Chains A and B, each alone.
Chain A
Amino acid sequence: MLNLVLAEILKLRKLRFMVVTIFIPLGLCAALLTIMLLIKGFGASYGSLPSDPTNTGPDLGKGVFSFGGLIFLNGIGAFYAIGLVIIGGLIIQSEYNWNTIKMLAIREPSRPRLILAKAAFMALYTVVVIVFLAISWLIYSMGLKILYDLPFSLDESDGQAILKGLRFVVLAFAVYLIWSLLGMALAIQFKSMVAAIIAYLVYSGLDGILSSIGGSALTGRLGTIFPEWLDPLINISKFVAPFLINTSLTRLTGQTSNSAYVESISPIQSLLVLLAWGILFTLLAVRIFSRRDITD
């Protein structure tokens, strides 16, 4: 299995888009800090940091690391949700485009192992992306201390914000990885990136809607008076929400002020739900690929 993962690394490490995707946060960090420092150099003042920049989003703590986290981990990081789905689909579709899929399938390793190796590669790639994103976030946040004329040393709230930020980025990217595994399965099924992305958007959108409605209904914070005929949908959402990806992520990283934050769901359950979806999508990809005639 290790050989297969190494083979994936060997073949994909020289693809430009794979490398660029990793370094985008560092580039943005450098660009943002340079521009902001230049503006400050021209005499502009940034005033003071928002006291609680993330009161409706994920729980990223307080201070510059929270503000930086909002921009990098929650903002730029969010693009990786679709980015990793595209990469997951691409590493499958490219094998079809290059006609190498049959070269792989006629080697000794079984088809399930080939797909598991690709899934393992995606997990490794996600870890690398997390590391570079986190480094960019930390550098940017330290830069903010200079821009806002704050002491360069780390205080207790900085420490908490860093820990919360790291927790958020790891869990958020675990979810992006889960979506990328779905992207891989869909790319095998449709042999088309576009179809895979559309199917992913529909699926994740449905998960998001049901999570939002179900979570809010479970916490009694639905916020809108719905017509009666929507009651069955609300009831279904309440039932399935604890087993959905977005509900689990909100439970693990969200703030209690978030209307879909369901405190009654245990964090362990949410982690297990995410793990189950990851395994399910991987098995789906394995099953589709194992049963498919390779005629390309």
Chain B
Amino acid sequence: MIVLEASQLRKTFRTRGRAVAAVRGVSLRIAAGEVQAFLGPNGAGKTTTIKMIAGLIDPDEGRVSVAGKDPFRDPGALREVGAVLEGNRNVYWRLTPLENLEYFGVLRGLSPHEARRRALPLLERLELADKRHAPVQTLSRGMQQKLSIAVAFIHHPKLLLLDEPTLGLDVEASEAVKVLIREIAAEGHAILLTTHQLDVAEELSDRVAIIRKGEIIAEETTTELIRRFSGQAYTIEIDGELPSAQQQVLAAMADVEVQAGQVTYVGSPEGLYQVLDLLKPLPIRRIELDVADLTEIFLKLIREPPHD
């Protein structure tokens, strides 16, 4: 089931007579249970897009549908949206975690009884139960961030928008947040995740969308994207010294690089056998297909000249 359908979103901001096109025709679709990583450099239009989806910024063009409802025309659509926004506290520091969950639960449309009923197990799950009566300002950054996600999730929205949920967290807290995100997705909620920590995006996401200067430049499943950018470079480690005649033949090949004890070949699998033939009879210690990571792919894509 498609939870989020944003199509052809456009937004231009005008400041001091200057028009800046922040988002130019962005479309996103996220199904239930899916985590979509939404990546892009600073100022690419990620936060503007997220805020348009959450109904906080009115798009100039395009439409948003969350579980079939438009957040701009039907305020009931916001029952299906939860958001943790980057750079914000998102919760009241003077209240305790339990009080925050109860308050925001009611603000999102739950009854006080239901908000309290959901709050306690949620705090248990986040290992915050023993801190439920401590003012939020006394909690660690990791605990505060877990609470922000819990507050965004208290009404069990179909769509959760997480803007930099692991930013500034230590390793342990970051792991806890990642586990929570995985669990929420596994329960059938759709998640749109923006982050600059590309290892986090690679670990958590089912799909990736990369935005540059307000336009989506790549949008596909994470595994397909990685596969598309991988599988072209092989590293072959050999034992012993390669005879100079073979070295010269290999070095003459355009897609081969020879180093001490190692040959790198970039090309098709068929061509790999030609290289292996040239390495005979030296023992081969290891052959490895170079798998691209999301960081390399991201950098490659955003540095590519734009296609007009």
**A is bound by B:** no
A residues in contact (CB < 8 Å) with B: none
B residues in contact (CB < 8 Å) with A: none
